[in-house]
Amino acid sequence: MRGKVSRKTILSFIGPAVIGLALVGIAPLLYALWTSLHFFNLTQLRRVEFIGLENYWTVLTDGAFWQAMGRTFFLLGTALPLQLALGLMIALVLHQPGLTLLKTLARLSLVLPMATTYAVVGLLGQVMFNQKFGVVNQLLGGADINWIGDPTNAFIMIIFWDVWQWTPFVALVLLASLTMVPGEIEEAARLETKSKWTVLRYVQLPYLLPGLVAVLILRTADTLKLFDMVFTLTRGGPGASTEFISLMIQRVGFRAFDQGLASAQAIILLIITIILAQNYIRVFYKEVN
Amino acid sequence: MRLRHLLATTVLSTGLATAALADSDWSLAEAAAPYAGTTVDVVFLLRPGYEAIEAMLPAFEEETGIKINIIKHPYENALGEQVRDFVAQGDLDIALIDLVWIGNFAENEWIVPVDEIQAKFPDAVDPDLDMDDFFPLVLNAFGGWNDTIYGLPFDNYSGLLFYNRCMLEEAGFDGPPETWADLKDVYGPALTKDGKYAYALQSKRNETQSADSFARMLWPFGGSFLDDEFRSNLLSDESQAGLQFRQELMAYMPDGIVAYDHAETVNAFAQGDVAMITEWSAFYSTVVSPETSSVADCVEIAPEPMGPAGRKPALGGFSLAVASQADDDEQAAAWLFIQWATSKANAREYLERGGVPARQSVYQEDGLEDFKFVPALVESWQDGVPEFRPRFAEWPEITEIVQEWGTRMMLGEVTTEEGAQEIGTRMEAVLDAAGYYSGDKPLAQ
């Protein structure tokens, strides 16, 4: 069969996709790489010059960069386990037989947080967590908690919104994974033991792993890129308490206009993301036999 | 001297350019006739002064046939959007310039000096332009850079003390504090009780932190960002006194003041939760309108309190300048619009619609009793500091540093000395890289 398809035909099918990908994905990356090796400030374009790895050295020795990175991983380390635990709980509940209509409604409602624009979530947060007239303090019995202006509370608020928005995603992925478990095996296991933990651990978990790895990779990448919601909600403040790495890169690149330094930061972030993703796959991923 | 020279040059050139037209019957409609149908793109902010001119715009468009295409942005996005447009040689025909952006825009030659525009389009110069009528401080600070005028003052602010007369009277005061020390030591304790606060200082981590909060406490105490050699002056006794004062004053401000931007601060005042705020004159219309303020009848205005070094009120505002990337027709049309928007003839209507013109003549007219901010504003524009914030091209980088460490100081994460040290070191690194210390760049502000 293969011999009958000409090289030209193959290229005409694959070519546009490759060119599109190169234009959309590869070209900006190469440009960022070029920019990162130059002094490149949008407001000082006459001074553009090749400076080698100086931007990378500046980033790697900048305490503020690593603090922002630490903050980002702290967010990942707190929000992701919560999302996984809550998402798994929801998935297991929805995996139970019966109550079909309610489960369908629940599945539909799970899509809503994900469908909400990130920036809108931040704006909602500004209103809901307002110290004086916000609904959150009202729900807490008229509490006078300063959410946005206190560094710790602001961080908690970010975790809350991230968990609210992305737990449904985890739940839907894990629910899809649970449907992959062959019914007869699951049924047989339930006849063998009444322990739900045992069923989860030895029957369902192997089928959940590919989904979990996907969730880990996607949520890690998303958290490292988290920007819109935080930008509209706290703008990285108060102080630098919610300045995550993507906010820092945006600040350097588009508010201080130092595109060279921001590109170096972004390239380093990309490398860290790739290393993490590879490790996730190596450590967690196992094909289900 | 410099200001005088600048004004003399500008007035002279304006005079030369308009002399030929003095006897002619100049009209906006005739001057605009060659450019009818031209579209002029300009960035506006979401603030009262812009709504005022937008409401007046149909008259301009009808008379000239020039279409003004307004692109609205919140303040925080306005600089980035414009920089990207100018770098990419985009569509903007007019630059909206905050006084701290003028050095940046001028040094990059994104804007055209007024002299050049007038020489290029002599028929488009309004004989009644009268540059002398602008408040000299405002024209110099908002529209001038390096002895050249680029923009005409459009959306003009001075920091003012807005106070709630009713709350002050209830606490036994018959007037506002004259000094910052009085505000903290006398008015602060008396007015901070029962969930109400004596004062709120907008301090959110953006330009508000560096302009409204940090700089506001430097100048009245004799401090400044830089000394004459462009080295950090933030560790001087005077600067430290101001920054330390801000820390102490926080005892009389609402919790979480570092999350307060203009909206939160004006709202806290308008709802009667705060007795005094120091805000831009542009917010006057918001706090005296019964639709947006529950204390409209109690609002009074005074100049900002004095510190040991004098009044030194906050100075901020915008000018409009013709963009160099615009083609000839667009430049001429843009210039006609800028003249019209900042003209003496329209100043009164602009004021009545919620704007704050920079024309001296309008404030000498009768019937301004309803605009309580006028006397304080005029007084503030006599005492203001053009370099309230440095206006050179590096300010966008420096303000980010001030915003971060200024907020950290307020949160108590670092002392005022530690914060000033950090800002100073980082600020000097930026200035060094720019070439100020090597002599590559003149020490111009």
Q: pLDDT value at position A2?
A: 52
Residue A114 CB partners (closer than 8 Å, separation 6+) = A165, A166, A168, A169
The burial of A197, by beta-carbon neighbours within 10 Å (0-12 exposed, 13-18 middle, 19 or more buried), is given as exposed
Please write the tens of the pLDDT for every residue from B17-30.
Answer: 444 444 458 999 99
Q: pLDDT value at position B436?
A: 92
DSSP SS3 for B350: helix
- Whether A43 sits inside 8 A of B393 (CB atoms) is yes
Q: Is A235 an 8 Å CB contact of chain B?
A: yes
Q: pLDDT value at position B12?
A: 45
Q: Which residues of B touch A255 (CB under 8 A)?
A: 79-80, 396, 400
- Whether B83 sits inside 8 A of A43 (CB atoms) is yes
- Portion of chain A with pLDDT greater than 70, in percent: 97
When pLDDT is averaged across residues B196-215 and rounded to a whole number, the result is 93
- Portion of chain B with pLDDT greater than 70, in percent: 94
Tell me how far apart the alpha carbons of residues B257 and B278 are, in angstroms, rounded to a whole number. 14
Please write the tens of the pLDDT for every residue from A170-187.
Answer: 999 999 999 888 888 888
Residues B217 and B183 sit within 8 Å (Cβ to Cβ): no
User: Testing the interface with B: which of A38, A43, A158, A228 to mutate, by most B Cβ within 10 A?
Assistant: A43
- Portion of chain A with pLDDT greater than 90, in percent: 49
Q: How confident is the model at residue B4 (pLDDT cuts 50, 70, 90)?
A: very low
Q: Which residues of B touch A256 (CB under 8 A)?
A: 396-397, 400
Residue B94 has pLDDT above 50, yes or no: yes
> Mean pLDDT across chain A, nearest whole number?
89
- Whether A43 sits inside 8 A of B84 (CB atoms) is no
Q: pLDDT value at position A3?
A: 59
Residue A39 has pLDDT above 80, yes or no: yes
The burial of B34, by beta-carbon neighbours within 10 Å (0-12 exposed, 13-18 middle, 19 or more buried), is given as middle
Among A131-135, B56-60, B175-179, B264-268, which stretch is predicted with the lowest mean pLDDT?
A131-135
Q: pLDDT value at position A90?
A: 93
Q: Is B259 an 8 Å CB contact of chain A?
A: yes
Q: pLDDT value at position B19?
A: 46
- Whether B400 sits inside 8 A of A240 (CB atoms) is no
Q: What are phi and psi of A168, to 5 degrees?
A: -60, -35
Please write the tens of the pLDDT for every residue from B371-408.
Answer: 888 888 888 888 778 778 888 888 888 998 999 899 99
Please write the tens of the pLDDT for every residue from B306-343.
Answer: 999 998 888 888 999 999 999 999 999 999 999 999 99
Q: pLDDT value at position A256?
A: 86
Tell me how far apart the alpha carbons of residues B214 and B197 are, in angstroms, rounded to a whole number. 20
pTM of the model as a whole: 0.80
Q: pLDDT value at position B7?
A: 46
Q: Which residues of B touch A243 (CB under 8 A)?
A: 404
Residue B439 CB partners (closer than 8 Å, separation 6+) = none
Which residue from A minimizes the CA distance to B414?
A: A239
Q: pLDDT value at position B23?
A: 44
Picking from B108, B400, B407, the nearest residue to A256 by CB comes out as B400
Please write the tens of the pLDDT for every residue from B182-205.
Answer: 999 999 999 999 989 999 999 998
A-proximal residues of B, 386-445, CB under 8 Å: 393, 396-397, 400, 404, 407-408, 411, 413, 434
Please write the tens of the pLDDT for every residue from B232-257.
Answer: 999 999 999 999 999 999 999 998 89
Q: pLDDT value at position B416?
A: 97
ipTM of the modeled complex: 0.74
Q: Read off the DSSP letter of residue A251.
A: I
Distance from CA of A249 to the nearest CA of B (A): 12
- Whether A149 sits inside 8 A of B396 (CB atoms) is no
When pLDDT is averaged across residues A81-96 and rounded to a whole number, the result is 93
Which residue from B minimizes the CA distance to A149?
A: B256
Q: How confident is the model at residue B1 (pLDDT cuts 50, 70, 90)?
A: very low
> Mean pLDDT across chain B, nearest whole number?
90
Q: pLDDT value at position B8?
A: 47
Strands B94-98 and B315-322 come out as antiparallel
Q: Is B130 an 8 Å CB contact of chain A?
A: no
Q: Is A42 an 8 Å CB contact of chain B?
A: yes
A56-284: CATH topology:
MetI-like fold (1.10.3720)
The burial of A216, by beta-carbon neighbours within 10 Å (0-12 exposed, 13-18 middle, 19 or more buried), is given as buried
Picking from B87, B206, B396, the nearest residue to A235 by CB comes out as B206
Residue B127 has pLDDT above 90, yes or no: yes
The segment(s) of chain B belonging to CATH 3.40.190.10 are 2-157+317-375, 158-314+386-434
To the question of domain B2-157+317-375 being in CATH 3.40.190.10, the answer is: yes
Q: Is A256 an 8 Å CB contact of chain B?
A: yes
* Rg, Å, chain A Cα set: 23
| Terminal Cα distance for chain B, rounded | 15
| Amino acid making up residue B432 | D
* CATH no. of B158-314+386-434: 3.40.190.10
Residue B15 has pLDDT above 60, yes or no: no
- Greater confidence, B82 or A150? B82
- Whether A131 sits inside 8 A of B393 (CB atoms) is no
- Whether B259 sits inside 8 A of A149 (CB atoms) is yes
Q: How confident is the model at residue A286 (pLDDT cuts 50, 70, 90)?
A: low
